[in-house]
Amino acid sequence: MKITFRNFRITDAFTDTMGSVTVNGGRIVDVSPESEARPIDGLVFDGGGRLVLTSGFVDMHAHFREPGFSEKETLESASLAAARGGYTSVVCMANTKPPVDNEAAAYSIKRRADTLGLTRLYPAISLTEGMNGKKLSPYLEAEPSAARAYSPPLLSEDGKDVEDDGLFSAALRRAAEGGHTVSCHCDLGGEDAAVDRALRLGAGCRVHIAHVSTKGAAELLRHHKKRDPRTLLTAETTPHHIALTCRDAATSGPETFGKVAPPLRGEEDRLALIEALKDGVIDVIATDHAPHTTEDKLNGAPGFSGLETAFTVCYSTLVKRHNFSPQKLFSLLSAAPARILGLSGHGAIAAGNNADIVILDTECETLIDSAMFASRGKNTLFSGRKLYGAVVLTLCGGRVVYQSPF
């Protein structure tokens, strides 16, 4: 279906202008300044000169919980949550039941998600067999082949570290041979020590540090990148770590509803993360979407549901409070993760790119109500808060997959 978005503020990591965008056949076919608007046929959306059009968000770190934990989340509910949050591409982690440690398991999940058509899903594959930390995963053991049905953009043992130095190093080297980025959890012996270990053992490899939460870890990254500007090292932090502190966790129950891994830190750490985002030491914001049942949270399961609140939290925290430009925010949410994952045709509003688009109202106030989440996990510390910004409409491959009822 041909759709034209007229009179929008087109903003991404590279562009900020008033104009029109036309999509057809799953691709962006035209981007024009409003003064050069062309005759329109097909479906038309008018932004009234107020709404923002940007490239669909890319999440490098989410837990979709299938197979094995459908009481927490299903592929369908997580995909709906992604669409509602403006996410058109998502990497889901391998710590399912059984863990995703081979190509066939990952491809099966991807095919189901492709059938749903709500978001482009890229299942990560674990570093070790069964995520047991004892031997390389079947995927890494296999010889790389051009005939593979599915090659993940990210490998990860998320949820824990590979404790054996030799095995961890071997996994990193093997992944590098296949051109894969490895996302490292980093909490063995404390976050700062674990980040230092990953940097040391992963020298020369495509190492990505997940959910950075401490000032010390940010400074290690800063030192490493300054010493080697051409490094393959990248890093992410989360919306909750830049917006909340341990005081929020204490108020909500540090061992129940306020519990997350890594834990929420102090104000000094929070501000250090924001500074690291500002100057490029941390490259990406990833949700670490981790849905749980209420019973799970009462029993101490760590994690928050984040796909549906990420944009609003980040816009309120970074743009409204810390003077980030929208372009910088969209780089963190879209262009940078697309680049790291090697997703061509993503991350920018440009003719020829995939028609993965999100329409945003950046001027409205939004009351977060977790009861309205599409995700089965209602666990968030943002429920009841008034924040800025809302997702109005999401297109994935030129199809409308979410439209706000408001």
In angstroms, rounded to a whole number, what is the distance separating the alpha carbons of residues 249 and 255?
A: 8
Q: What pLDDT is attached to residue 146?
A: 61
At 12, is the secondary structure helix, strand, or coil? coil
Reported pTM = 0.97
Tokens (6 digits) for 157: 């043992």
In angstroms, rounded to a whole number, what is the distance separating the alpha carbons of residues 103 and 322?
A: 42
Phi, psi of 392 (to 5 degrees): -95, -40
Among 293, 309, 276, 300, smallest CA distance to 379 is for 293
Give the model's confidence band at 38: pLDDT under 50 very low, under 70 low, under 90 confident, else very high: low
Specify whether the backbone of 78 is left (phi greater than 0), alpha (psi in -120 to 50) or beta.
Answer: alpha
Alpha helices in 279-382 (DSSP H): 294-298, 310-314, 321-322, 326-330, 336-341
pLDDT tens-digit readout, 104-126 = 999 999 999 999 999 999 999 99
Asked if 235 and 283 count as a contact pair (C-beta separation under 8 A), the reply is yes
Would residue 288 show up in a list of annotated catalytic residues for this protein?
Answer: yes
Among 250, 251, 248, smallest CA distance to 239 is for 248
pLDDT tens-digit readout, 85-95 = 999 999 999 99
**Percentage above 70 pLDDT, the chain:** 98
Tokens (6 digits) for 230: 């051409």
Asked if 288 and 297 count as a contact pair (C-beta separation under 8 A), the reply is no
In the chain, CATH 3.20.20.140 covers 57-341
Q: Which CATH number fits domain 3-53+353-403: 2.60.40.1580, 1.10.1660.10, 3.90.600.10, 2.30.40.10?
A: 2.30.40.10
Amino acid at 244: L
Q: Residue 356: which residues within 8 A CB-CB, separation 6 or more?
A: 55, 56, 88, 89, 120, 346, 395, 396, 397
Among 315, 327, 326, smallest CA distance to 13 is for 327
Q: Is the pLDDT of residue 39 over 70?
A: no
DSSP class of residue 43 equals E
Specify whether the backbone of 105 is left (phi greater than 0), alpha (psi in -120 to 50) or beta.
Answer: alpha
Q: Residue 112: which residues within 8 A CB-CB, separation 6 or more?
A: 75
Amino acid at 369: D
In angstroms, rounded to a whole number, what is the distance separating the alpha carbons of residues 70 and 380?
A: 19
Asked if 270 and 242 count as a contact pair (C-beta separation under 8 A), the reply is yes
Q: What pLDDT is attached to residue 299?
A: 97
- Catalytic annotation, pick one of 59, 288, 356, 361: 288
Q: Is the pLDDT of residue 320 over 60?
A: yes
Specify whether the backbone of 375 is left (phi greater than 0), alpha (psi in -120 to 50) or beta.
Answer: beta
In the chain, CATH 2.30.40.10 covers 3-53+353-403
Cβ count near 50 (within 10 Å): 12
In angstroms, rounded to a whole number, what is the distance separating the alpha carbons of residues 140 and 172?
A: 10
* Residue 403, strand partner residues: 393
CATH 3.20.20.140 correct for 57-341 = yes
pLDDT tens-digit readout, 265-290 = 999 999 999 999 999 999 999 999 99
Amino acid at 33: P
Cβ count near 65 (within 10 Å): 27
Angle (CA) 317 266 160, round 5°? 95
Q: Average pLDDT in the 327-332 region? A: 98
